[in-house]
Amino acid sequence: MEKICVAVRVRPSSSENGSSLWKVEDNRISLHKSLDTPISTASYAFDHVFDERSTNACVYELLTKDIIHAAVEGFNGTAFAYGQTSSGKTFTMTGSETDPGIIRRSIRDVFERIQTIKDREFLIRVSYMEIYNEEINDLLAVENQRLQIHEHLERGVFVAGLKEEIVSDAEQILKLLDSGEVNRHFGETNMNVHSSRSHTIFRMVIESRGKENSSTDAIRVSVLNLVDLAGSERIAKTGAGGVRLTEGKYINKSLMILGNVINKLSESSKLRPHIPYRDSKLTRILQPALGGNAKTCIICTIAPEEHHIEESKGTLQFASRAKRITNCAQVNEILTDAALLKRQKSEIEELRMKLEGSHAEVLEQEILKLSNQMLKYELECERLKTQLEEERRKQKEQEQCIKEQQLKIENLNNLVTNSDFKTNKSEDFVSLRRKPDGRCNVSDSSDVLGTPFFKSAERSFVVARSNYSGLSDFSPMVDSLGDVADEDTWTKLNKGFVADLDQLQFTPAYKRQTTPLTAATAEHLRENHKEVEDLKSQIELLTSEKNSLQVKFHEQVVQNNKLMEQMSEIKQETLPMKEIPKRLFESVGNCKDVYKDVIVTMKTLMGEKESPTGKLIFGATKITTSLLSTLESQFSMIIDGQKSGSNVEHPLSDQWETLLGSLKNTASSLVSDAQAQNKILNSHYKGQEAAAMEEKLKSELSNIKERYNELEKKLSMDKQLLQASRESHEKLEKEVQFLKEERDSLDAAVSQSTQRLRVIASDKENALKDLNVEMKRRKEMEEEIKQISFAFSSRQRSLMSFHNEIKSKMQKLTTQNPKSK
Ligand code: ADP
Ligand code: MG
C-alpha cells in the first residue's frame, strides 16, 4: 500500500510586475496577504511544490521518473495534470521545444531504461485518445470515434477498438503524438479552446519477458497513462453559453466525478463506500490509478494571478484530498503454463519442507495461502469458461460470415445469368441459379454487384501480442472477451484478497465442461465444413461457366477475323472499278490527240484561213476542244474523289447535256453553212477546178462527220460504263459500311464479354481468397480451442491432485498431532 504522490506547480505570472500571492517554501504552499503574513487556513503541504522558476526537467526528475522506471519493471503508472485553464497543465505534460514536458521525457526515458535491462525483451504499444463531451475518440485513427469502455478480469479496464501502435523507438512515438495533435484540430478552429475542453490520455503498454535461459517465464504487462485534463474552472466564471455550455457541463461532470471518487477514496478505507468509478469515462479509465493497482502522481497546476485565487484554492483542496488516497501497486505478471507448473512445484516443495518442521502456526499460514491460491484458480476457471463461451460466440460470427460469402457467390451467379449474350441462353445458366439443394435463388438483381459485408475479427489483444515474435508460446488465452467483471471482483483482485479456510469447503466442485463444449464446437465445425464444401462446388460451377464464356469469346474472335477477310476481298474487287474513270480519262486524251491530227490535216488542206469554210471549221474546232477539256476535267474530278475517299456528286453532269446539245447544233449549222457555201461556190465557179474543190471539201466534211459520230458513240458508251461503275461502286460502299457497322457491334460485344469475364474472374478470386482466410482462421481457432481445453483439463488435474495431497497431508497431520488442532 502506498500513497498517491501529489505535487503543486505555480506557473509564472502573466503580468510583468505581478508579485505572486502564493508563497512556496520547501514542500509547502501558502497564501499571503500583501503584508507577507500567511493566512492560516490557506497553507498546504504536498510531496513536492514547484514554484514559478521550476522547469519541466525538474518536475520530471522529482515527481514522475520513479513511476516511469517502475512501469518498465511491470507496475502500472499514471501521471496527470489537474488545474484550471491556462494554469500550465499542457505546459507541464507536453512542454515546449526547449523544455520538453513529462510525456516526451517519459517516452525517451522508457527507451533509455529498456536499453539497460539486458535480460528481458520488451514490446511497447502506444495509444492516444481524447475524452470530449463524454465521448472517447482515437487520436491515432480519426475514424475511431465514440469508443466504448470494457472491463476484463486480466486486462482490467480497456477502451475497445482503440488503435494500439507497436513502436520500436522514441522517435516513432513522438511522430505519432504529433499526428495525434493534428487529429485533435479536426473540426475546431481554435485549438486552445478545444484542448482546454477535452481530456487527453496518452497510454503506453509495456510488455516484457525474460530472454532465453532466464529463471522466470512470466510475462509482465504494465500500463502507463499520461493525462492532460480539461480545465477545472467553473462555467459561471467563463460565462459560457450554447455549445461551450454543453462542453462545460460535461467537463464539470467528469471533473466533479473525479473529485467525488477522490473524496471517497480519501475517506478511511474501513468505512469506504461504493466508489463511483463508473459514473464517468475519465474515472473508469483512471480507475486502476485511483485506489487500484498503480503507482500514481498528480500534478496540480495553479495560476498565480489574484483573480484566479478561488480556482487555485479549489485546486489545492482537490490536491489535499488526493494526497490521502492509497494505492496497491504490484507487478502484473501473466504466467505461462510452464511457469505456473514450475512455480507450483517449488511451492509444494517448500510446503513439504515446512511440514517436516510441523509447526501448526506455519501450517495454518500456509493453508491460508493455499486457499487463497485456490480462490485464484477458481477465478481462472471461471475466466476460462467465459473464454470458451466467447469462442462459441466467435464460431457463430464465423457462420454468419460464411453465409454472407454464400450470398456473395449467389450474387455472382446472378451476375452471370443476367449477362445478355444472345448466344448464352443455354441451360447451364439455369443450373447455376440453383442452390445445392435444388431450390431456385430469387435474389434481387439490383444487388448483383454489391459486395457482401464481411465482419473482420477484432484486432484483439492476443493478435497484437502475436506480432511480437518472442512471445509466440504465450498461454492460449483470448483477451478480446467482452465479459465484464463486476467492480468488486476487480477491487478484490487489486487488493490481494485473502480468503479464509472455511470458504475452501464451500467451493463447489468443478464441473468438467470441456467435453460437451468441445462436442458442440465439433458440431459447429462439421456444419462449417459442409458449408465450405457447398462453397467449393459453387466455385467449380462458376469456373465451368467462365470456361464456356471463354470458348464463346474465342468463337466470336474467329467470326470477326472471317468478316475482316471478306471485307478485304471486297476491297480488292473494288480496286479495278476505281480504275475505270482513269481509263476513260486516258481515252479522252487519245481522242484529243486524234482530233488534233485531224485539225492539222484540215489546216494543210485549207488554202485560205479567211475563207468562210475555214472560219466554220475553226469555230467547230474550238467547241470540240472545249468539249474534250470538259470531259477531261470531269474524269480527273472523279479520280480525285476516289483518292480522297469522299462520295463525289457529279456537278458537271448537267453540263454534259448542254455540251452535247451545243455540239449537235454546231455540227448541223456547220453542215447547213457548208451547203449554203456550196450554192455560192456553184454560182461563182462553174469550172472544173471548182468541181474538184467541191468534191474534196465534201469528202473532208463527211470524214469529219464520221469521226465525230464515232467519238459521240464512244462517249455515250463511256458514259454508260461510268454510270454502271458508279452504281456498283455505291453498292459496294454501302456493303462495306454495313460490314463495318457489323464489325463494330461485334467488337463492342466482344469487349463487353471480356469485361464481364474479368469481373467474374476477379470476383471468383476474391471469393477464393476469403475462403482460404476463413479456413485458416477456423484451423487456428480449432487449435486454440484444443489448447485451451488441454490447459484447462491439465490445470484441473493438477489442482485436484494438489488438493488431494493437501487433504491427505492434513489428515495425516491431524492424526499425528491431535492437540495442535
Ligand atoms: P493549460 O493547459 O492548463 O490550459 P497551458 O499549459 O496552455 O495551460 O499554459 C498557458 C500558458 O502559460 C501557455 O502560454 C504556457 O506556455 C504558459 N505557461 C504555463 N506554465 C508555464 C511555466 N511553468 N513556465 C512558463 N510558461 C508557462
Ligand atoms: Mg491545456
Check pLDDT > 50 for residue 228.
yes
Interval between CA 87 and ligand 1 midpoint (Å): 6
3-state helix, strand, coil in the chain (%, to 5): 65, 15, 25
Residue 247's pLDDT is 58
Residue 643's pLDDT is 59
Interval between CA 14 and ligand 1 midpoint (Å): 10
Q: Is the CB of 22 under 6 A from ligand 1?
A: no
What are the cell numbers at 110? 522508457
Residue 444's pLDDT is 37
The CA-atom distances, in angstroms, between 418 and each of 145, 173, 413, 621, 629 are 41, 53, 9, 77, 66
Which bound ligand lies closest to the C-alpha atom of 301? Answer: 1
Residue with more model confidence, 293 or 518: 293
Nearest CA residue ID for atom 10, ligand 1: 86
Residue 667's pLDDT is 60
Check pLDDT > 90 for residue 688.
no
Residue with more model confidence, 117 or 648: 117
Instruction: Report the pLDDT averaged over residues 778-789.
Output: 90
- pLDDT-derived band at 31 (thresholds 50, 70, 90) equals confident
Q: Is the CB of 50 under 6 A from ligand 1?
A: no
AA letter at 201:
I
CB of 470 closer than 8 Å to CB of 440: no
Name the residue of 8, 10, 11 whose CB sits within 8 Å of the most ligand 1 atoms, as the mutation to test its pocket: 11
Interval between CA 301 and ligand 1 midpoint (Å): 9
Interval between CA 245 and ligand 1 midpoint (Å): 24
Instruction: Report the pLDDT averaged over residues 261-274.
Output: 75
Interval between CA 701 and ligand 1 midpoint (Å): 126
What are the cell numbers at 702? 463527211
Interval between CA 59 and ligand 1 midpoint (Å): 14
Specify the range with the lowest mean pLDDT, choosing from 54-63, 346-355, 509-518, 603-612. 509-518
CB of 673 closer than 8 Å to CB of 680: no
Going by the DSSP 8-state scheme, the letter that residue 434 receives in this structure is B
Check pLDDT > 60 for residue 511.
no
Check pLDDT > 50 for residue 625.
yes
How far apart CA 677 and CA 679 sit, in angstroms, is 5
Residue 801's pLDDT is 92
Q: What atom in ligand 1 is closest to the CA of residue 54?
A: 23
Name the residue of 53, 59, 91, 96 whose CB sits within 8 Å of the most ligand 1 atoms, as the mutation to test its pocket: 91
CB of 471 closer than 8 Å to CB of 207: yes
What are the cell numbers at 499? 480468503
Q: Is the CB of 198 under 6 A from ligand 1?
A: no
Q: Is position 87 annotated in a ligand binding site?
A: yes
Identity of the highest mean pLDDT range in 502-506, 564-568, 741-745: 741-745
Interval between CA 196 and ligand 2 midpoint (Å): 5
Q: Is position 336 annotated in a ligand binding site?
A: no
How far apart CA 573 and CA 584 sit, in angstroms, is 19
Nearest CA residue ID for atom 5, ligand 1: 88
CB of 135 closer than 8 Å to CB of 194: no
CB of 263 closer than 8 Å to CB of 243: no
Look at phi and psi of residue 602 and say left if phi exceeds 0, alpha if psi is from -120 to 50, else beta: alpha
Name the residue of 86, 96, 130, 251 whose CB sits within 8 Å of the most ligand 1 atoms, as the mutation to test its pocket: 86
Interval between CA 612 and ligand 2 midpoint (Å): 124
Q: What atom in ligand 1 is closest to the CA of residue 85?
A: 4
CB of 204 closer than 8 Å to CB of 214: no
- pLDDT-derived band at 99 (thresholds 50, 70, 90) equals very high
Interval between CA 166 and ligand 2 midpoint (Å): 27
- pLDDT-derived band at 249 (thresholds 50, 70, 90) equals low
In the chain, % of residues over pLDDT 70: 68
How far apart CA 375 and CA 747 sit, in angstroms, is 78
Q: What atom in ligand 1 is closest to the CA of residue 55?
A: 23
Check pLDDT > 70 for residue 38.
no
- pLDDT-derived band at 654 (thresholds 50, 70, 90) equals low
Check pLDDT > 90 for residue 190.
no
Residue with more model confidence, 395 or 444: 395
Q: Is position 90 annotated in a ligand binding site?
A: yes
Neighbouring C-alpha atoms within 13 Å toward the C-beta of 159? 31
Place of cell 517502475: 70
Residue with more model confidence, 728 or 353: 728
Instruction: Report the pLDDT averaged over residues 359-376.
Output: 75
How far apart CA 140 and CA 178 sit, in angstroms, is 10
Residues 6+ apart with CB under 8 A from 146: 135, 136, 137
Q: How far is CA 494 from the centre of its chain?
A: 40
Q: Helix, strand, or coil here: 740?
A: helix
Nearest CA residue ID for atom 19, ligand 1: 88
Q: Is the CB of 90 under 6 A from ligand 1?
A: yes
Check pLDDT > 80 for residue 108.
yes
Q: Is position 538 annotated in a ligand binding site?
A: no
Which bound ligand lies closest to the C-alpha atom of 95? Answer: 1
Check pLDDT > 90 for residue 698.
no
Specify the range with the lowest mean pLDDT, choosing from 223-237, 426-440, 576-590, 622-636. 426-440
Q: Is the CB of 295 under 6 A from ligand 1?
A: no
How far apart CA 411 and CA 408 sit, in angstroms, is 5
Specify the range with the lowest mean pLDDT, choosing from 430-439, 653-662, 799-808. 430-439
Instruction: Report the pLDDT averaged over residues 481-507.
Output: 38
Check pLDDT > 80 for residue 147.
yes
Check pLDDT > 80 for residue 673.
no
Residue with more model confidence, 42 or 687: 42
Q: Is the CB of 465 under 6 A from ligand 1?
A: no
Interval between CA 195 and ligand 1 midpoint (Å): 13
Mean pLDDT of the chain: 75
Q: Is the CB of 85 under 6 A from ligand 1?
A: yes
The pTM score is 0.47
Specify the range with the lowest mean pLDDT, choosing from 202-206, 425-429, 673-677. 425-429
Residue 497's pLDDT is 37
Check pLDDT > 60 for residue 649.
no
Residue 79's pLDDT is 95
Check pLDDT > 90 for residue 203.
yes
**Smallest Cα–Cα separation from 217: which of 209, 229, 225?**
209
Residue with more model confidence, 628 or 79: 79
Specify the range with the lowest mean pLDDT, choosing from 131-135, 310-314, 529-533, 547-551. 529-533
Q: Is position 431 annotated in a ligand binding site?
A: no
Q: Is position 419 annotated in a ligand binding site?
A: no
Q: Is position 95 annotated in a ligand binding site?
A: no
Q: Is position 633 annotated in a ligand binding site?
A: no
**Smallest Cα–Cα separation from 746: which of 422, 341, 485?**
422
Residue with more model confidence, 178 or 566: 178
How far apart CA 103 and CA 139 sit, in angstroms, is 15
